[in-house]
């Protein structure tokens, strides 16, 4: 099997906040990410597709098609957006990196023309990485 990775980056604002909790409790749980006036991150997204190379093209997936699919279904909806207010697929969900990973998986899993989605990896900072494989 060949694992194909396409890397994309985007910048977005968010606030980690659960309305069930008081402001003080939110701050205790979520720290700086609970700032009521928002803040941003520069996210790095990696989408990994697995499969066998097609004998006629040598490709598991045409990477320029993969790039276009990620741009259309993910990047256009999150880049320079407020994830709490403007991103339809994050409505009602706490925009933790874990939850963003799961949401991106759901957006992409049935959109690939060949190969299978293997993992969605998302880094919120240089030091924090998250990965979802659909189960």
For residues 53 to 92, the per-residue mask of contacts with Ni ion, x marking binding by CB under 5 A and - elsewhere, is ----------------------------------------
Nearer to Ni ion among residue 33 and residue 108 (C-beta): 33
Is 124 assigned a catalytic role?
yes
Give dist(CA 96, CA 33) in Å, integer. 9
Q: Which is nearer to Ni ion, 11 or 64 (CB)?
A: 11
Q: Which of 25, 39, 65, 80 is catalytic?
A: 80
The span of 19-27, 28-36, 107-115, 127-135 binding Ni ion (CB under 5 A) equals 28-36
Q: Which of 102, 3, 105 is nearest to 49 (CA)?
A: 3
Q: Would you say 134 and 117 are in contact if contact means Cβ atoms under 8 Å apart?
A: yes
Among 29-37, 62-70, 78-86, 109-117, the segment contacting Ni ion (CB under 5 A): 29-37
Is residue 30 within 8 Å of residue 108, measured between CB atoms? no
C-alpha torsion angle, residues 113, 100, 85, 107 (rounded to 10): 20
Among residues 14, 33, 41, 101, the one annotated as catalytic is 33
Q: Does residue number 33 form part of the binding site for Ni ion (CB under 5 A)? A: yes
Contacts of 3 (CB under 8 A, 6+ apart): 48, 49, 50, 118
Site membership for Ni ion, residue 100 (CB under 5 A): no
Smallest distance, Å, CB 62 to Ni ion?
A: 34
Instruction: Beginning with the edge strand found earlier in the chain, give each strand of the sheet holding 2-14 in spatial order.
Output: 81-82, 2-14, 39-51, 116-123, 129-132
Residues tagged active-site: 33, 80, 124
């Amino acid at each position: 099997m060949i694992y194909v990775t396409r890397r994309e980056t985007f910048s977005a604002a968010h606030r980690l906040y659960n309305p069930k909790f008081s402001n003080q409790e939110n701050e205790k749980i979520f720290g700086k990410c609970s700032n009521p006036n928002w803040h941003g991150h520069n996210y790095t997204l990696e989408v990994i597709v697995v499969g066998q190379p097609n004998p006629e093209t040598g490709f598991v997936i045409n990477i320029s098609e993969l790039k276009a699919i990620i741009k259309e279904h993910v990047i256009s909806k999150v880049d320079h957006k407020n994830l709490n207010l403007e991103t339809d697929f994050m409505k009602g969900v706490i925009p933790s990196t874990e939850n963003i990973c799961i949401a991106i998986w759901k957006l992409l899993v049935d959109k690939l023309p060949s190969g299978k989605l293997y993992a969605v990896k998302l880094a919120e900072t240089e030091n924090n990485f998250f990965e979802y494989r659909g189960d």
